[in-house]
């Protein structure tokens, strides 16, 4: 399992998924799909689009990874997780096939999702890439639309050491004749998507070239954004029910994707679009994206865990009024944190921890590495003990941020009732 073992668990081809799905009757061909890739933002983008489509009356599947608290978070229809009995039944029915093919955990999960969506006859499913794109298990789809959120430095041991190499892997989801939306145009790598789209005769749109966020401000548990359409010379005010500063990048890709679907005769009204954006957490169960766990003390968690993700999280922290900043942080030992640590503020108080997983970097090791960058704090044996210490040090007006890894956030969410 990648969760436990890291890169050694990855199978760099789609052969097992092809064999597995052939044995299941190719369920992925029995429903329409939208394929979403990218370094950061693909989870939020998938959930936002799923929420919009469900609000528009489409029976909508949603496949994402990793899960935070419950495995079944990965496979949903209209926000409802796959029932436990369906998971158990799938494994029982196909145990001999699994033993014959020897697929990875992720490959089994992808096949399970496709089989469930086909059986339940969804109108459309949002399918998030697990890792990369070209060789990802999900890349057996022939979707209605491809969305690529952004390109950043993550999983360099698997995808390449340059943005261009990583972009080429993400561009691997582009299919012949299938329109593709790239949320964020980066001039240094835009040519990679343009070349791949030409090769595939796939219509290509860069959302950030067509749309611009003019204003963005926090409101309640979300954001009020004013988006300017640079093509139609119009502006639109929207409420997005996710509070992270970085969501203003994702919203451009989502709006452009919706526009592309409308061009292809999908019925999505303005009211349905607004309802879907505003109620994404209620409609899809999304967690861990600038999620407020407590108001007093003020505790927020976020799953951003690579160079770009941390940069965006910090931008949201600075836009959140606070006196002293307490950061509870843990990382995986196979992560290159040399790009993350220099970004972190030296005037914060740090609580270094290790989530209960063998891939986690020891809290003492993380503390030692962080000290080299002037980041002062203490090491704790668990996420819960680190959060407890931060709560004890908290004073009115402070902010406690919990993050650095999906697994740190997952443990906080499991203990949610305890820390609230």
Distance in angstroms (rounded) separating the CA atoms of residues 375 and 391: 19
**pLDDT attached to residue 162:** 86
**pLDDT attached to residue 418:** 43
Average pLDDT over residues 375-402: 97
**pLDDT attached to residue 284:** 97
Whether residue 110 is predicted with pLDDT greater than 50 in this model: the reply is yes
Whether residue 2 is predicted with pLDDT greater than 90 in this model: the reply is no
- In the chain, what are the domains? 14-284 (3.40.1190.10), 291-415 (3.90.190.20)
Average pLDDT over residues 400-420: 83
**pLDDT attached to residue 377:** 98
Name the one residue in this structure whose structure tokens are 């496709």. 114
**pLDDT attached to residue 54:** 98
**pLDDT attached to residue 81:** 98
**pLDDT attached to residue 160:** 60
Distance in angstroms (rounded) separating the CA atoms of residues 181 and 171: 11
**pLDDT attached to residue 153:** 59
Whether residue 315 is predicted with pLDDT greater than 70 in this model: the reply is yes
Cis ω for the linkage preceding 66 (within 30 of 0): yes
**pLDDT attached to residue 420:** 34
Average pLDDT over residues 390-405: 97
**pLDDT attached to residue 148:** 97
Kindly report, residue by residue over 327-375, the tens digit of the pLDDT.
Answer: 999 999 988 898 899 999 999 999 999 999 999 999 999 999 999 999 9
**pLDDT attached to residue 11:** 55
Edge-first strand order for the sheet with 180-182 is 80-81, 75-77, 60-63, 124-128, 32-37, 145-148, 180-182, 204-206
Average pLDDT over residues 323-328: 98
Kindly report, residue by residue over 245-286, the tens digit of the pLDDT.
Answer: 889 999 999 999 999 999 999 999 999 999 999 999 999 999
What predicted TM-score, i.e. pTM, was given to this entire model? 0.92
With a pLDDT cut of 70, the percent of the chain lying above it is 94
Asked whether the beta carbons of 94 and 11 are under 8 A apart, the reply is no
Distance in angstroms (rounded) separating the CA atoms of residues 130 and 74: 11
Task: Work out the mean pLDDT of the chain and round it to a whole number.
Answer: 92
Kindly report, residue by residue over 152-189, the tens digit of the pLDDT.
Answer: 755 455 566 688 889 999 999 999 999 999 999 999 99
Say which residue, 206 or 151, is predicted with more confidence: 206
Kindly report, residue by residue over 181-217, the tens digit of the pLDDT.
Answer: 999 999 999 999 999 999 999 999 999 999 999 999 9
Average pLDDT over residues 76-86: 98
Distance in angstroms (rounded) separating the CA atoms of residues 151 and 122: 30
């Amino acid at each position: 399992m990648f969760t436990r073992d890291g890169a050694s668990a990855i199978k760099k081809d789609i052969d097992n998924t092809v064999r597995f799905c052939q044995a299941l009757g190719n369920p992925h061909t029995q429903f329409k799909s939208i394929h979403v890739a990218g370094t950061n933002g693909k989870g939020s983008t998938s959930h936002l689009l799923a929420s919009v489509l469900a609000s528009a009356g489409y029976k909508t599947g949603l496949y994402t990874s990793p899960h935070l608290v419950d495995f079944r978070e990965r496979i949903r229809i209209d926000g409802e997780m796959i029932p436990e009995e369906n998971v158990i039944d799938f494994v029982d029915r196909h145990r001999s096939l699994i033993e014959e093919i020897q697929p990875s955990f992720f490959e089994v999960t992808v096949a399970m999702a496709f089989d469930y969506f086909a059986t339940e006859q969804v109108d459309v499913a949002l399918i998030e890439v697990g890792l990369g794109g070209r060789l990802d298990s999900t890349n057996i789809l022939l979707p209605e639309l491809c969305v690529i959120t952004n390109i950043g430095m993550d999983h360099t041991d698997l995808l390449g050491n340059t943005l261009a190499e990583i972009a080429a892997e993400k561009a691997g989801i582009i299919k012949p004749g299938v329109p593709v939306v790239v949320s964020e145009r980066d001039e240094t790598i835009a040519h990679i998507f343009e070349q791949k789209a030409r090769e595939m005769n796939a219509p290509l749109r860069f959302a950030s070239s067509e749309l611009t966020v003019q204003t963005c401000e926090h409101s309640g548990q979300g954001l009020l954004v004013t988006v300017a359409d640079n093509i139609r010379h119009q502006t639109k005010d929207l409420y997005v029910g996710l509070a992270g500063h970085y969501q203003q990048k994702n919203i451009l890709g989502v709006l452009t994707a919706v526009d592309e679907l409308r061009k292809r005769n999908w019925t999505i009204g303005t009211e349905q679009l607004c309802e879907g954006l505003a109620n994404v957490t209620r409609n899809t169960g999304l967690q861990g994206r600038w999620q407020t766990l407590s108001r007093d003390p003020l505790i927020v968690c976020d799953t951003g865990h690579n160079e770009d993700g941390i940069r965006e999280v910090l931008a949201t922290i600075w836009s959140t009024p606070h006196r002293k900043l307490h950061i509870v942080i843990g990382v995986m030992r196979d992560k290159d944190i040399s790009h993350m640590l220099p970004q972190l503020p030296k005037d914060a108080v740090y609580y270094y921890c290790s989530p209960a997983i063998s891939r986690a970097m020891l809290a003492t090791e993380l503390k030692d590495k962080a000290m080299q960058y002037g980041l002062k704090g203490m090491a704790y044996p668990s996420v819960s003990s680190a959060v407890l210490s931060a709560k004890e040090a908290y004073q009115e007006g402070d902010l406690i941020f919990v993050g650095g890894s999906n697994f740190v956030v997952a443990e906080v969410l499991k203990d949610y009732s305890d820390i609230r």
